[in-house]
Amino acid sequence: MKTTKTIKTAVLSSVAALSLLASNPAAAEAPEALKTEAMATVDTHAELVQEMVDSMFSFAEPGFQEFKTQEYVTGILEEAGFTIELGSAGIPSAWTATWTHGTGGPKVALGSDVDALLGLSQQPGTGEIAPLVEGAPGHGEGHNSGMAVMVAAALAVKDIMQEHDIDGTLMIWPGIAEELLATKAYYVRAGMFDGFDACLFTHVSTDFSTTYGEGRGNGMVSVEYNFSGKTAHGAGAPWLGRSALDGVELMNVAWNMRREHLPISQRSHYVITDGGGQPNIVPGTASVWYYFRDHTFDGVSELFDIGNTIAQAAADATGTTVERRTLGYAAPQWGNRPLAEAAFANIEQIGMPSWSSADQAFARLVQETNDREIEPLGAEILPMEVDEDFTPTGGGSDDIGDIMWALPTITIRFPSNVPNVIGHHVTAAMPMATPIAHKGAVAGAKAVALTTLDILMDPELLADANRYREEVQFADGREYAPVLTEADMPAIDLNGEIMQRMRPQMEPYYYDPSRYSSYLEQLGVAYPPTSN
């Protein structure tokens, strides 16, 4: 695992290396002219954005099983001249795509998540709950849209770098298994971002925004506790058995008792992944999978320690044994202020997409049909919200936090979904292969492209970004302190059996852009539907 000392040394080395930018001849060119050119170039890729958003929606691959997505996206990038490396950080479905112009110059990483959610298969373009394949995964958080943002942005910037002789390196990478919070800490541990100067990350939203500083979300550790007992006849001689399920249930009861006395910032939840076979057999094995979340590294570590203590106590009390397996980790987030301010200026310049009457009608249909608050698609860029003085009260997690502690990083949120849909629910999938998703992704690509140009051409921006990390992010003794050990490895087996069973049923629904201009056309869905 990379140490805090190593990360801080990298910060100082990056600052020293910035002097090399002064010799870049393109730095004298008018950046606004290049930004105008970049936005126009992104617009030429709008059809590719639509194709990618729709294709990845149709693939709908859950964490660690994003192999069709890998083949599809890397094929596009390889054809565009990027160098592809598969299996990043020992994760088979991970990859990087790298392209360099000239010698030296800043190195910019561009990433977005790509995985789907189990059980959320949904036909797009309708307000009714209608799975494409019953029980299959689906894009109920919209991760099908972010990679299109990054590819379109990278292709636009690549053209400008070549035309105007701007030195630098672009690396596109995917967030694999983000819904399991299971890979980005391993990316950092493997040194995937070593030598890179900044990272821009994107995530689907209903607004067009970014922020900096301590995030409102939580860090997290994902851990499965596996209890072992002894089988026996549940009626004939139960005294000869030791129930592993008793250990699981006792752990859950004890955790729920302890929950009352935990900080308000924490979130914790679990599912029983193995509860035994049948009632008349005392369960010899049983497992429970926990997410422990809190706002700080110390808070996550403390919850992890409490969970481990309770698990062992439950095993002791039931005459069973317990082992644990760490399945994922996400560090608390900390966005970079100089990068965020540069990105937000670009967002304001770009503005919100121009929504059609059909877009607004569809948004209202989704909201009305699913008893959600009625709110039109946004028309204005809202002021940047900064979480500088607040009381943590819990929330979700994203393992982009680990990368934020490795190099200057921000998240750009782009408007590709409908207000007030429910996250991790099929309502959030309904708009994600419609013109709303396409237009929002084009806007996001412009923001990424313009901010990438800022990083490539403004040496002061990178100097300020590294100074902020050293003087603010790492101040007051803060350090990158994950609970992962060298023995912990990516849980690449997860979702394998599910996709082995589901993929043959899903393949007939893959989008074919050679025959249809949109996925809605392929499915025979009118937009907006006149009724459900």
The contacts of residue 192 (CB under 8 Å, 6+ apart) are 88, 89, 96, 173
Task: Based on the fold, state whether residues 94 and 209 are members of the same structural domain.
Answer: yes
Decide if 329 contacts 222 (C-beta within 8 A). Answer: yes
The H or E element containing residue 173 is strand 168-175
Tokens coding 151 = 């590819």
Task: Based on the fold, state whether residues 103 and 232 are members of the same structural domain.
Answer: no
State the total domains in the chain: 2
Residue written as token pair 């996206």: 73
Question: pLDDT per residue over 131-177, tens digit each?
Answer: 999 999 999 999 999 999 999 999 999 999 999 999 999 999 999 99
User: How crowded is the C-beta side of 76, counted as CA atoms within 13 Å?
Assistant: 20
**62: nearest Cα among 431, 437, 498:** 498
**175: nearest Cα among 292, 63, 56, 330:** 63
pLDDT > 90 fraction of the chain, expressed in percent and rounded = 90
Q: What is the value of pTM for the model shown?
A: 0.93
Q: How many Å apart are CA 454 and CA 130, to the nearest integer?
A: 44
Decide if 424 contacts 117 (C-beta within 8 A). Answer: yes
Mean pLDDT of all residues in 281-291 = 98
The H or E element containing residue 285 is strand 285-294
Res 388: pLDDT:
67
Q: How many Å apart are CA 344 and CA 441, to the nearest integer?
A: 16
Mean pLDDT of all residues in 476-505 = 96
Bridge partners (DSSP) of residue 85 are 96
Question: pLDDT per residue over 86-130, tens digit each?
Answer: 999 999 999 999 999 999 999 999 999 999 999 999 999 999 999
Task: Based on the fold, state whether residues 398 and 462 are members of the same structural domain.
Answer: yes
Res 2: pLDDT:
42
Residue 50: what are its φ and ψ, rounded to 5°? -60, -45
- Mean pLDDT lowest for which of 172-181, 482-491, 523-532? 523-532
pLDDT > 70 fraction of the chain, expressed in percent and rounded = 93
Task: Based on the fold, state whether residues 423 and 347 are members of the same structural domain.
Answer: yes
The H or E element containing residue 161 is helix 146-164
Last residue of a domain, one of 291, 307, 330: 330
Task: Based on the fold, state whether residues 38 and 176 are members of the same structural domain.
Answer: yes
Task: Based on the fold, state whether residues 298 and 340 are members of the same structural domain.
Answer: no
Start-to-end C-alpha separation, the chain: 52
Any domain includes 367: yes
Decide if 330 contacts 181 (C-beta within 8 A). Answer: yes
Any domain includes 462: yes
Name the 3-class secondary structure at 435: helix
Res 268: pLDDT:
96
Any domain includes 14: no
Alpha-carbon separation of residue 460 from 90, 104, 465 (angstroms): 36, 17, 8
Res 216: pLDDT:
76
Any domain includes 20: no
Decide if 255 contacts 267 (C-beta within 8 A). Answer: no
Domain that holds residue 70: 32-217+335-386+394-523
Res 389: pLDDT:
64
Task: Based on the fold, state whether residues 184 and 258 are members of the same structural domain.
Answer: no
For 183-215, what is the HEC assignment? Answer: CHHHHHHCCCCCCCCEEEEEEEECCCECCCEEC
Question: pLDDT per residue over 239-256, tens digit each?
Answer: 999 999 999 999 999 999
Q: How many Å apart are CA 8 and CA 358, to the nearest integer?
A: 51
Question: pLDDT per residue over 293-306, tens digit each?
Answer: 999 999 999 999 99
Q: Is the pLDDT of residue 464 over 90?
A: yes
Q: Domain holding 316: CATH number?
A: 3.30.70.360
Decide if 93 contacts 73 (C-beta within 8 A). Answer: no
Res 387: pLDDT:
67
DSSP state at residue 218:
-
**What is the average pLDDT score of the chain?**
93
Question: pLDDT per residue over 14-63, tens digit each?
Answer: 444 444 444 443 443 338 999 999 999 999 999 999 999 999 999 999 99
Question: pLDDT per residue over 184-231, tens digit each?
Answer: 999 999 999 999 999 999 999 999 999 999 987 899 999 999 999 999
Mean pLDDT of all residues in 364-383 = 97
Q: How many Å apart are CA 359 and CA 431, to the nearest integer?
A: 9
Q: How many Å apart are CA 302 and CA 298, to the nearest integer?
A: 6
Q: Is the pLDDT of residue 11 over 50?
A: no
Res 39: pLDDT:
98
Mean pLDDT of all residues in 365-383 = 97
Mean pLDDT of all residues in 367-390 = 91
Q: Domain holding 349: CATH number?
A: 3.40.630.10
Residue 211: what are its φ and ψ, rounded to 5°? -160, 180
Question: pLDDT per residue over 414-441, tens digit each?
Answer: 999 999 999 999 999 999 999 999 999 9
Any domain includes 403: yes
Q: How confident is the model at residue 5 (pLDDT cuts 50, 70, 90)?
A: very low
Name the 3-class secondary structure at 154: helix
Last residue of a domain, one of 312, 330, 348: 330
Decide if 160 contacts 146 (C-beta within 8 A). Answer: no
Q: Is the pLDDT of residue 311 over 70?
A: yes
